[in-house]
Structure formats: C-alpha cells, structure tokens
Chains A and B, each alone.
Chain A
Amino acid sequence: MKIFKSMTQASAVILSCSTLLLMTSGCDNTSQTAGSNNAETTEPSKNKGTIGVSLLTLKNPFFKVIGDNITAEAAKQGYKTIVLSADEDVAKQSNQVTDFIVSKVSAIVLSPCESRSIVPVIQEANAAGIPVITVDIPCNEPGVDILTQVATDNYGGGKEAGKAMIEALGEAGGKVAILHYRQAESCRLRVKGFKEVIEAHNVSASARIDMVMELESGAAKDLGYKAAEDALQAHGDLRGVFAINDPAALGARAALEKAGKQDQVLIVGFDGQPEGKQAIKDGKIFADPIQFPDKMGIEVVKSIVAHSKGEDVEPEQLIPTSLYRQEDGLKDSSLQ
C-alpha cells in the first residue's frame, strides 16, 4: 500500500515534469496554420531583431555604461536588446548564451568571463549562424568565429600612463611601484605600454625613473591598499605609483594618506570611473588614461548593423584612451 502510494506520487511528479518537455512535439505544426491563412506576404518587420548581451558583471559601472550604450544605440537602429550580467560565472554566462541562441537573437555580444570555457557556446552560436561580438574582453581561442572584438587600446593607454608618470615626477625622477593585476590580459598590456615609455625615457633623461616593484593589487581597493602599504615599507622614498585601475589607485591613495605620504607619492591610475575622476579633480590621483565604455557600446551596435548591411567589419577595434588630468576634472560638469 505504501509502495503504491509513493509510486503514484512519483508518477504524478514525473508526469507534470515531462508534460512541460513533451508538450513541444506538436507545437510547430499547430501554430503553423495561423500564418499560412494570411495569404498576404510578410514584409520584414520594423523591428530588426534582438541583440543578446552577456556582460562580465554589472557591479562595475564600466560594464553598466557599455550595456546602456548598446541598448540606446540599438534602439536608434531599430533593434531590441537583452542585457544580462554573468556575475563572473562562466557556467551562468554559457547558459545565458544558449538562452539567446534558443530565442534566435540577431547577434550575441559577450565580455567572456573565461575565454577558454566560453568556447563551446560560441561554437554553438556559430553553428546557429548568429554573429558573435566580444566587448572589452577578447576571446582569441582557435576554432571560434567572432565578427569583431571591441576593446580599449590598453597598450596605448599604458603608454599614456607612462607619459603622465614622467610629467608627474618631472626632472627629479625617482622610484615607482606598479600595482598589477596579472590575471587580466588587458592589465598586462597596460603595464607593458607603461614600462616601454618609462624605459625609453630613462635612456635620455637626466634623472632615471626606477620601477622598483610590481605588486599584485587584485584590481580592488582593499588589496590595492595592502600592496601600497607593502611598497611603502620596502621603499620609504617612493615617488610614484601606477595602478592598473581606479579601485587599486584609490586603495593606494588611502595607504598613502594613512602613512602621511600623499604629497611625496603621486598616483597614476587607469579607467576614469566617476569615483576615479572625482579623485583626480580633488588632486588625489595625478591623472588617468580614461576608457570610453560608451564608445565601445556604440561601436558594437555599429558593427552589427554594418555586418547585416554586408559591409566589411574590422576583426579588432581598439578604442583609444585619453589622458584625464586635474584641469579636465575642474571643467567636468558631471562631478561635484
């Protein structure tokens, strides 16, 4: 009796579960007839389709700006958008992409959480004939077909940061620490550009700029703070810090203030997030090569439109940075 009861319960559960699954077999046919009654031909609709966007995270305002600009530009061009946050979880991102493929979006825009693990779903999108575009974070793995990769020119930005550092330290030169985030290809490029400019400067300069330390900053405030503290312990006569993004730069600033060395050590950051810009205006950070997530969003949509129009699309589009100093901050009406 008890067995019977549990079996009926089990079968009820299986039944309701599988109804969902099996309801599908006939669906295409039933709904088909509705369309064919309509003898009039269908002109392609005004809505040109949907763009599915899965960004690394929406916690970082940088990605929020990319998403917002994709949505705004897409609306101008007649596309709808779905913007999702992958919360840095590649399994979640790959589910989001399969959801996009199922809803037959016109294009998929990604900032991959993990460029290798995302390969199978990009291949799935390729097989479904949906163009894939990366934004900010490229995916350079073999076997995937990507329409275009839109990203900041991090190498060029690193060079600008180097120039800013030379400007900051002036004739005197001195010791500089780099707050790195080695996991990210983008940050490696930034540091590469920075080092090249400083080394070129050292060849001819009267006083050298010595890059004495390279510390891991985690690209975050708390770890940037710790790293800067360690740097100060090791080199009391530090003159400059290059931090690979704004949070790390702000963390370093906090450490300098705690040690009372904010006037001795100048910081060059990267990004140009609102908080970073505010700090530049207030003289807490010397300068930032700023990125343009808004332009990135717009370029993404332009590429999708160009592709659909049959025009050539560059496989890689680098958006240059621009150096943001205190005087730019003072003119900036978006800051307090």
Chain B
Amino acid sequence: MPKSKKQHLTHLLTEYGMILVLILLGIFFSLVTLTEQRPSGKKAGLQIASIVKKRFDKDAHILIASRNLAIDKNFYDALSGSLTSAGFKHLHSVQGTPRDARAKLIELENQKIKLQVILGNQTTADWLVFEDIKLNFPQLGAPTRIGPSPYKWPNFLKKDNLLNITNQIAVIAIIAVGMTVVIICGGIDLSVGSLIAFSAVLCCLFIQNTAGGLDANAGGMILACIAAIIITGLVGSFTGSMITAFSIPPFIVTLGVMMMASGTAYLMSGGESVYRVPDSFVWLGREASLFGIPNAVFLMMLLYSIAHIMMSRTQLGRYIYAVGGNAEAARLAGVPVKWIQLFAYTLSGLLAGLGGVVMASQLKSGAPTYGQMYELYVIAAVVVGGTSLSGGEGKIFGTLIGAFIIAVIQNGMNLMNIESYTQKVILGMVILIAVLLDKLKQKKFQTS
C-alpha cells in the first residue's frame, strides 16, 4: 500500500527525528560558541613573520616568546627560521614561563637593548608580563606586541572538541549497547552504574596485586582487564538467572545487584581509590593509535557495528525482539525465552565491565565512587535513541545517537558556561521529548 505524503513525514520524523535533534543541537552550539580563535604552531609563526617583514627594519631588536611545548617549538622554529632567512639580525628568544620572560626582559634591559617588537603565539602574546613594559622596564623602550591574527570559529566545532565529545561518551555509549538489548528484550538493568565501579576497582586491584603493580606489562594488564570484564559478566548472569529462574521483576533484582555491586566495590577497595597502576594503563582510555581516533571511540564503533549486525541480521537478534514484543507468544513459537533473557543480562554485565575498565583507564585508577547515576544516563541514551521501554522495539544505532545527544548537550553547555543545574533541566526536557516521539510512533502504528 503506497504511503501518503503525510505518512512519509511522520515516518521520517519518528525514525530519524533524533538525528535531526542531534544536527540541530550541533548547529545551535556551533553558533553560540563562535569565538575568536588564534592560529597556533607553524601557521602562526609564518603569519607573524610576514607581518614583521613588512613593518620592521632588518636591524630591529625582536623578542620571540614561546612556551616549552611541542606546538610552541613549531611556532618558534617557523618564525625564527623565516626571520633569519629574511636577514633579521637581532633575534632574542625566551622559551618557558612568564617568569622566564621577566628574567629575559631584565637581562635585555641590563644589556641596554632597545626592543622594537615582541612576538608571541596565542598564549604568550597575552602574558601580562609584556603589558606594562613602558612602566616596568623603561630602558627597553616601547616595543609593540604582535600575536597571531584572530579568526572566528566555534569552539564546539574544533576537531579536538569533537574527538573530546566522543571520548567522553564512550563509556556510556558502550554500556548502552547492553542496555538496549536488555530493554528491547523487555527488561531493565539498574545495576550498570555500580558495575562500572565494581569492574574498575576489580581491574585496578588485579593490576596492582597480581600483575605487578606499577611495573605491570601489557599482557598482565590485558589479562587483568579481561578478568574484570568476565567477573562483571558473571554478575550479569547472576542477575539474569535470578530474573528468569524465580520470575522476580528485573527492576527489583537489578536494584539489589546495584547495591551489592556498589558495596562490594567499596569493600574491595577499602573506600579508597586503587591507583598503583602503570602509566601505560591509560592507553585504552586516553590515547589514539588509529588515524587519530581515540582507542575507546574505536572500540565503541566496533561494538556498535557488531551489535547492529547481531540485532538486525541474526536469529538471536530476532529472538530478542520477539521476547520483548510478546514473551508468551515467543515461547509458544519455540523461542527459548529464558535463555534469551539470560543472554541479555550477561551481555549487559560484560559491557558494563568493559565500560568500567575504560573508565579506570581514562582516570588511571579505580574508585568505588565511579559510575554513580550512570545507569540513568545510559537508560536515557537508550530511550532518547528511540528504544521503547515497553520492549520489542528499538535500534542499536538509535542508542548511539541518543548517547551523542546527551554528550553534545553536556559538552556544549560546558563550553557555553551554563551551570550544571540548568544542564540537568535541559537534559530532562530532551528525554521527555524523546518519549513524546516514541508515543507518536506507537500512535502511528495503531492508526495505520
């Protein structure tokens, strides 16, 4: 039956509404975080060099200020290289902190040098030490300060920031895969937040006590991570078997497991953070080894792809939808309902364990305070992504969109200087809008 135009529109709105929301949010935050940016590194160095060549004599005394950083080294090399080859004779430089700059100014003053111009990058040009030179160092003359020319670009749309957002959401997004499966299956898992802490503490304890502590090697750390993930997965299986064997509502079982996992994390760690782990432990959470994509983000993308294929193209996926849609009908049709449910909770536990390991790696320690309230963010990501809390319906990639919406809102508001209370209000509103869309979708099914 061909659909009418109006039906097409509703279809689009309900299926892809959240992408629209995400794009609109992106545009919105880009507009409001439009700020003056200054080029940095080599680019800034060449830009300033061309200005200096136009405006100053070859025997002008020039001070180049930069910090002891790689990016500043590029700036300095480009700038001084370009000026030297253009024939400028009197180049002075300082590399370090404002304090070093002050020492350099004193030194130049003692040498009775008249400084014509001070060149700096986006940070050093603004150092206050250069502000009142006329007052503090009258012997130096009145040098002009030149920094890179500003241009307008949204803070939100900077490459670093977008990578930052994806890295920040990785933990929630990874756990949300498991939650999506559980919710599609007709259940709920409140224990994931506590399982983050449980797994993070467990993983760091394994590294600290069995894998050799600060001297642990990569193999030992990987084994510790895998062990933590598997044990957390077993906790998930325990949850699943309580639910399936005794038909206790998932809400209650996972509430109990949530408290037990959190308490156990506190017991195991003695209430403190476990931090004797090697520096290289941050590889998973903080580093990027493939095309500049952070490892955690890569892992997240991989998991989403696998989960998408599992849910849309395998028998297992269809069984999960069937159990969530109508468990009784599924059972009569020969679907092993209890096994499917057990699988869903085990998967959720495994992924919560993985999330905990990623978080431990991001923070280079495991503390029992991690992950508080995360179950709510995870559930929010799933619901915003269009998965129905009544089960049987939803999409894995919808959840990714949902997670991104939450991350973009939080990041955008941090950049906009909106305090966290307002952030909560707005986040709550977005979740309500998502549920509203969900209702709209159900209504469409009823009428058509």
State the main secondary structure of chain B at its contact with A. Answer: helix
Interface membership of B153, Cβ < 8 A: yes
Interface membership of A263, Cβ < 8 A: no
Interface membership of A16, Cβ < 8 A: yes
Residue of A with least CB distance to B130: A44
Query: Could you give, for residues 295-323 of chain A, a 1 whenever the CB lies within 8 Å of some chain B CB and a 0 otherwise?
Result: 00000000001011111100000000000
Residue of A with least CB distance to B276: A116
Query: Could you give, for residues 163-174 of chain B, a 1 whenever the CB lies within 8 Å of some chain A CB and a 0 otherwise?
Result: 110111001000
Interface membership of A203, Cβ < 8 A: no
Partner of A95, one of B100, B105, B168, B400: B168
The CA of A249 and the CA of B367, in the complex, are separated in Å by 29
Binding-face segment, A23-31, A163-171, A234-242: A23-31
**A9 contacts B395, CB within 8 Å?**
yes
**A120 contacts B22, CB within 8 Å?**
no
**B152 contacts A34, CB within 8 Å?**
yes
Interface membership of A119, Cβ < 8 A: yes
For chain B residues 271-305, which have a beta carbon within 8 Å of chain A?
A: 271, 273, 275, 282, 286
**B69 contacts A89, CB within 8 Å?**
no
With contacts A6-B312, A31-B37, A41-B51 taken as known, whether A102 is within 8 angstroms of B364 at the C-beta atoms is no
Give the residues in chain B near A28, CB-CB below 8 Å: 39, 43, 159
**A24 contacts B102, CB within 8 Å?**
no
Number of residues of chain B lying within 8 A (CB) of chain A: 92
Closest CB in chain B relative to A24 CB, distance in Å: 4
Interface membership of A184, Cβ < 8 A: no
Interface membership of A1, Cβ < 8 A: no
**A58 contacts B420, CB within 8 Å?**
yes
For chain B residues 72-130, which have a beta carbon within 8 Å of chain A?
A: 72, 97-103, 105, 120, 122-123, 125-129
The CA of A99 and the CA of B29, in the complex, are separated in Å by 14
**B147 contacts A44, CB within 8 Å?**
yes
Residue of A with least CB distance to B372: A89
**B126 contacts A90, CB within 8 Å?**
no
Give the residues in chain A near B37, CB-CB below 8 Å: 31
**B395 contacts A120, CB within 8 Å?**
no
Number of residues of chain A lying within 8 A (CB) of chain B: 70
Residue of B with least CB distance to A309: B128
Interface membership of B316, Cβ < 8 A: no
Query: Could you give, for residues 63-103 of chain A, a 1 whenever the CB lies within 8 Å of some chain B CB and a 0 otherwise?
Result: 00000000000000000011111011111001110110011
For chain A residues 88-127, which have a beta carbon within 8 Å of chain B?
A: 88-91, 94-96, 98-99, 102-104, 106, 113-114, 116-120, 124, 127
**B417 contacts A82, CB within 8 Å?**
yes
With contacts A43-B145, A58-B420, A309-B98 taken as known, whether A117 is within 8 angstroms of B365 at the C-beta atoms is yes
The CA of A187 and the CA of B407, in the complex, are separated in Å by 36
The CA of A44 and the CA of B26, in the complex, are separated in Å by 30
Query: Could you give, for residues 45-60 of chain A, a 1 whenever the CB lies within 8 Å of some chain B CB and a 0 otherwise?
Result: 1001100000000100
**A16 contacts B23, CB within 8 Å?**
yes
With contacts A10-B397, A42-B148 taken as known, whether A49 is within 8 angstroms of B126 at the C-beta atoms is yes
Closest CB in chain A relative to B252 CB, distance in Å: 26
Residue of A with least CB distance to B103: A310
**B157 contacts A13, CB within 8 Å?**
no
**B275 contacts A307, CB within 8 Å?**
no
With contacts A27-B158, A42-B148 taken as known, whether A310 is within 8 angstroms of B99 at the C-beta atoms is yes
With contacts A20-B162, A116-B275, A117-B365 taken as known, whether A90 is within 8 angstroms of B370 at the C-beta atoms is yes
Residue of B with least CB distance to A86: B420
**B363 contacts A120, CB within 8 Å?**
yes
The CA of A62 and the CA of B15, in the complex, are separated in Å by 47
Interface membership of B242, Cβ < 8 A: no
Give the residues in chain B near A94, CB-CB below 8 Å: 362-363
Partner of A12, one of B16, B54, B420, B421: B16
Sampled A-B contacts (24; CB under 8 Å): A13-B397, A28-B39, A28-B159, A35-B151, A36-B47, A39-B54, A42-B147, A83-B419, A98-B164, A99-B161, A116-B367, A117-B275, A117-B364, A117-B365, A117-B367, A119-B275, A119-B364, A119-B365, A120-B282, A124-B286, A127-B69, A128-B69, A309-B129, A309-B131
Q: Can you add 18 more A-B contacts, CB < 8 Å, to A9-B395, A95-B411, A116-B273?
A: A13-B400, A21-B166, A25-B159, A31-B151, A34-B152, A42-B150, A43-B145, A83-B417, A84-B414, A84-B420, A89-B373, A95-B410, A116-B275, A120-B363, A129-B72, A305-B128, A308-B98, A310-B127
6 nearest A-B residue pairs (beta carbon):
A310-B102, A24-B159, A310-B129, A310-B98, A35-B149, A13-B397
